[in-house]
Structure 1
């Protein structure tokens, strides 16, 4: 009953355009006062501070800053040129360029919104100029960006790992195979669209052109190798890898490419600061809510209730899939992870579900939420760039959402898909 009232209050505040972080804090403090009186608020500030200062969380502002710095340099243009030389000879090649570049760019930024903002501003106008419908251009840009967040590094994965007390590195590794499979499936779907609607070939294949664009983008290709190689090799932690990403981005953009001046650096820092503030305020507010829920033993009660219905872990996963898909309609991925994961983890552990496996399930579920209105943060960004109606884009986007759902089912019910590499390297 308490949880239901809190959810109603939270939704009501959000409908009145109260920021989600503020709404979470208000609901938590009202619940605390109602349960234990005003004295319960004495430690509220300390709880929020401690919740937002976890060491792994430091990687989030650093990855955001690295992505913002690379957005300000010519990285996006160089990556697109190479992908175009590689895939442009195929019918509908520019759509495949969109997917391929998106998957690679996410290995630097870890953010689907940053992916859309950086690449969409270049690729969507280019696709429209070549005769692709703006709805298709927005749909493929949006969906490929969401798919890309399951390829490391990924900010939603970092948040999940902190909330679930799981290994960031193992969750990163678990996302590699599903991400590649999803990317190939989206490319196949894009080719089917291209054949059916006679979308154009971008350019004639030329090994010389491939070699030239590869040399132009060679330093950009080194970035994920440095970051992920250091993390997976055990040389650095995920947080230290994020710091390394910032240093590498500054060096490549400012020294190698020479197109990162002080003005662009200032803009990158401001953008990174704003995005970080949004995420960390959510984390701080959720810490307050988490303490209240823990004290009231709400997660344990939820676990006991669902366990009384079924103990089969795949049935539990089905219930949680439906739950997260619904939550994703109304909450941004960061807010949903921060709010819901601590509540369901006792159930996940009781059902014998590997927390790393469940991390992929959660990330994909909430990634689909980025494509499904009314919230659909990534989809709205793509629609804004394409100047297209969100509902018209959603109609075109349904097959690409279908690919995301297929990857989700594969990850959920064939655990070897995400977990094989984790088992091989770490267990």
Structure 2
């Protein structure tokens, strides 16, 4: 009964526009007081502090800062120039440039919102100038930005690893193949759409231009080598790689001598606020998690589902539907922090690899970023393009279909995301 009342209180506060972190903390406190009395509140502040100061979480502000430096120092423009020279000769090449650059930018920022804000502000106006429908420009930019939480480093993966007490590095490795498959599928849809809408060819292929833009962007290519090479090779942890990414981003910015300190300040402030929201959610989740753990709620839910079916693929199907629905209404960080601690006992009893399940959760939430009413990435793209959200959503359906196909493939063929993990770690 107390769990039902807490859930009702949580939903009511969210409907009243109370911040999710605050609503979560209040609900957790209500549960603790109702079951253990006011004496349980003595250590609340310390518990929240301890929960939000885990070493792995330091990677979040570091990757956000690296993305901000990258965007303020001319790195994004050089990436766009190189990818445009490489694939701009294809019909609708600018839409593929958006996907290709997002694939690279994803390896730095780990945030889909940061990706769409940084690249969309450059690419969407350019696509509109060249005759692309604004709804299509927003859709392709929004869907490609979701690669940022599939391709490592990924902020939602870090949060999942902390919540499920599993390896961040292995999750990063598991995201590589699904991310590349997603990018290839999105490019395929973009090409078919370009033929359908007769979108323009940007420029003829020119090997000299490819060479010159590659040389100009060459320092930038050290970033994924350091981040992914260091993690895959076992030389650094994810958190240490985040710190190295910041240092190298600063060095590249100084090399180019184009650091826009005004844009950097704005990006850092926005990144700081984004990080603060995530950390407050993590701290608040400690209270709710403490109550649920002591009340054995996750274990009871797990047992009831196991009693219904012990087939792990059926359980994965149930959880997929659940996370897809959750993704409609919650941001990825909130969804992970709220739900993952509850379902971890279930995946443990069902014998599901926690790294595999983390990739499944991440893909679900990548789709959730594209589906209203919350759809933070989609809304950001619509704002930049000045396009109607429902027009963009209709145009976005084929791209969402690609992400769903990757989700189904990774759910039921676990070797797809896990074979690199097996190779490097097991």
Q: What TM-score range do you get, normalising by the shorter chain?
A: over 0.9
Q: Do the aligned partners of residues 100 and 208 (structure 1) sit closer, same or farther apart at CA in structure 2, a change above 3 Å counting?
A: same
Q: Which residue of 2 aligns with 1:141?
A: 141
Aligned-pair distance for 1:147? 2.6
CA distance in 2, matches of 1:240, 1:147: 22
Comparing 272-281 and 99-108, the one that deviates more: 272-281
Deviations 1:351-400 (A, max 9, x none): 00000000100000011111111100100000000011111110111111
Q: Do the aligned partners of residues 148 and 271 (structure 1) sit closer, same or farther apart at CA in structure 2, a change above 3 Å counting?
A: closer
Aligned-pair distance for 1:262? 4.7
CA distance in 1, matches of 2:421, 2:31: 40
Q: Which residue of 1 aligns with 2:230?
A: 230
Deviations 1:308-345 (A, max 9, x none): 00001001100100111111111100011011101100
Count of aligned positions: 426
Q: Which residue of 1 aligns with 2:377?
A: 378
Give runs of aligned pairs for residues 232-247 of structure 1, distance below 5 A.
Answer: 232-247=232-247
CA distance in 1, matches of 2:11, 2:73: 40
CA distance in 2, matches of 1:212, 1:287: 52
After TM superposition, the score normalised by the length of structure 2 is 0.98
Aligned-pair distance for 1:175? 0.7
Aligned-pair distance for 1:263? 4.2
Q: Which residue of 2 aligns with 1:396?
A: 395
Q: After the TM superposition, which parts of structure 1 deviate over 6 Å for at least 4 consecutive aligned residues? A: none
Aligned-pair distance for 1:265? 4.3
Are the aligned partners of 2:232 and 2:424 in contact in 1 as well (CA < 8 Å)? no
Deviations 1:173-199 (A, max 9, x none): 111111111111110111100111101
Aligned-pair distance for 1:284? 0.3
Are the aligned partners of 1:147 and 1:404 in contact in 2 as well (CA < 8 Å)? no
CA distance in 2, matches of 1:129, 1:26: 49
CA distance in 2, matches of 1:414, 1:3: 36
After TM superposition, the score normalised by the length of structure 1 is 0.98
1:409 equivalenced with 2:408 (yes/no)? yes
Q: Which residue of 1 aligns with 2:343?
A: 344
Q: Which residue of 2 aligns with 1:125?
A: 125
Aligned-pair distance for 1:264? 4.5
CA distance in 1, matches of 2:267, 2:365: 27
Q: Which residue of 1 aligns with 2:50?
A: 50
CA distance in 1, matches of 2:246, 2:25: 32
Are the aligned partners of 2:66 and 2:108 in contact in 1 as well (CA < 8 Å)? yes
CA distance in 1, matches of 2:251, 2:197: 43
1:353 equivalenced with 2:356 (yes/no)? no
Aligned-pair distance for 1:261? 5.3
SS class of match (1:153): coil
Q: Which residue of 2 aligns with 1:176?
A: 176
1:67 equivalenced with 2:50 (yes/no)? no
1:208 equivalenced with 2:214 (yes/no)? no
Q: Which residue of 1 aligns with 2:278?
A: 279
Give runs of aligned pairs for residues 155-166 of structure 1, distance below 5 A.
Answer: 155-166=155-166
1:25 equivalenced with 2:29 (yes/no)? no
1:103 equivalenced with 2:103 (yes/no)? yes
Are the aligned partners of 1:68 and 1:271 in contact in 2 as well (CA < 8 Å)? no
Comparing 361-370 and 12-21, the one that deviates more: 12-21
Q: Which residue of 2 aligns with 1:270?
A: 269
Q: Do the aligned partners of residues 356 and 18 (structure 1) sit closer, same or farther apart at CA in structure 2, a change above 3 Å counting?
A: same
